[in-house]
A and B are shown apart, each in its own frame.
Chain A
Amino acid sequence: MSEPSTTTIPSTPQRIKSAFAACLCVVVLLISPAAPLEAADDYRSVAVADPYLEMHTGPGRGYPIFHVIDRGETVDVVKQRTGWFLVRAANGKEGWVDREQMELTLQRDGERFSLRRATIEDFTNARWETGILAGDFGGANSIAVYGSYSLNPNVSVELWGTQILGNFSNGWMAGGNIVHEAFPEWRVSPFFTMGAGYIRTKPKSTIVLPEDRNDQIGHVGAGFRIYVTRRFVLRAEYKSYVVFTSRDDNEEIEEWKAGFAFFF
């Protein structure tokens, strides 16, 4: 029995070293622009109009309140993360304030610090939407990403990219479609869609006819967009595809998939 060859596998320490060096470079690049942030002095300052403003140690409901600012005092708003605002008090203390309390503060001009929260109206009227869906494409698994642009509340155009992973073949699919929603103001909004695109199929090597194929594809479908909360949408849909093959017969494929999306 001969000695096992080790030349095919690069030695681990070398790989660790290169990975570590790459990480370090990225870390340095990411840290360096953060430094001048402290010097910036153009933060929006707001006055506390409620009896007090509670500062939490972190951007979440469970984090304890460690500091309270009285009515009339001003704070600087440094940044926002999800529904929380990092504010800096006059004495230099920094803490996180939730959206409900921030909405009770006043800006310099006396206006309320108004924050528009995404509502179901935005679900109907928002221009852009993007999401990820996964499901079944004619017996294979599919993972799909899409971006959508609304022409009006009822009609939108979408671009899709799908990866298909099956037992007999893998593939990619890209295409566009037009979506019509009859009742866009409903929380569960049904839609119809039709579109066209290209599919690239790569049969697995164990199957006969192993050459790659590029085909045009057309589809019709229907589904639901379901408003959950804020900018968050669930989406489920069925599409029936016709692959215009170069062979005598066209191929028909059914696809079911579900996933989530958010609009902005």
Chain B
Amino acid sequence: MESRFRVLFLIIATISLSGCAAMKNLFGFGDKETPPPTAEPPGQVIDPQVERREIKEPKIDREDFEIGVFAGILSIEDFGSDVSYGLRLAYHITEGFFLETTAGASRGGLTSFEELSGDARLISDSERDYYYYNLSLGYNILPGEVFLGEGRAYNTNLYLIAGVGATRFAGDDRFTVNVGAGYRFLLNDSVALHIDFRDHLYDIDLLGEEKTVHNLEGHLGFTVFF
């Protein structure tokens, strides 16, 4: 009996309380400012109060660029060999591929014809200045290590490289293709030495008929990663 009374009492209490609550709203009593809780999806019992964390990419010094200088010998077909020097900027896309921009300068000498004929000159003095730039794509085909004695190891890369560019020589700018290979010797994790061999090819008709010339260049370089 007691439990039945208790249940009855509880039912009455619940109805009357909810009725009061309804009346309260009906006659404008109560706290109007607090809006009813917004519709929650059914089943959501606990509102997670955890703030979503912003995922921040850690700031780490990236060293994908490589900048440096080089100097070597350029053999200009028909015009002898001379010192060449220039700048190199590379961007390493992956551990294999890199893009490289080089700009270099050298100077053409006298052709055999000019030397034998005395004063006859095929091109003027200023036209013997040789300038070029290249935009190339390289691939580190043989990465490796070399050992100096027992305690020292250096990372190296043998790379193949090819690209396009332009050459200013003998009074004209010419479309130039370059192909070659190089050897990058890393003195430490940021500084490298290069030995590079390049063939610069372009068409020229200076000596009568048009022909493709091969200007071979070998140079030593020094670069820094940043």
Contacts and interface: CB of A to CB of B under 8 A. Distances in A.
Interface of A: 1-5, 8-10, 12, 15-16, 19-20, 22-23, 26-27, 30-31, 34, 44, 57-63, 77-86, 94, 107, 111, 113-116, 132, 134, 140-141, 143, 145, 163, 165, 170, 204-205, 229-232, 260, 262
A30 B191 CA distance: 9
Nearest to A6: B110
A79 B63 contact: yes
B77 to A, nearest CB: 17
B201 interface: no
A96 B5 CA distance: 78
A5 B121 CA distance: 10
B85 A79 contact: no
B58 A82 contact: no
Nearest to A7: B125
Contact of A107 (B58, B115, B164): B58
Query: Chain B interface residue count: which class?
Result: 35 or more
Contacts of B58: 44, 77, 107, 113-115
B61 A84 contact: no
A31 B191 contact: yes
Contacts of A140: 175
Contacts of A107: 58
Contacts of B135: 132, 134, 143, 145
B214 interface: no
Contacts of B47: none
B138 interface: no
Contacts of B140: 60
B3 to A, nearest CB: 53
Interface stretch (B8-16, B37-45, B165-173): B165-173
Interface in B89-124: 92-95, 97, 99, 107, 109-110, 114-119
B190 A165 contact: no
A262 B91 CA distance: 11
A81 B107 contact: no
B19 interface: no
Contacts of A113: 58
B211 to A, nearest CB: 13
A1 to B, nearest CB: 6
B159 interface: no
> Which of A22, A30, A77, A231 counts the most B-chain CB atoms under 10 A from its CB?
A30
Given A22-B85, A57-B155, A82-B93, A114 B57 contact: yes
A77 B110 CA distance: 56
8 contacts: A1-B117, A22-B85, A60-B140, A79-B60, A82-B93, A114-B58, A170-B173, A262-B93
Contacts of B190: 34
Nearest to B125: A8
Nearest to B93: A232
Interface in B49-100: 53, 55, 57-64, 67-71, 82-83, 85, 92-95, 97, 99
A58 B92 contact: no
A58 B143 contact: yes
B94 to A, nearest CB: 5
A80 B62 contact: yes
B153 A82 contact: no
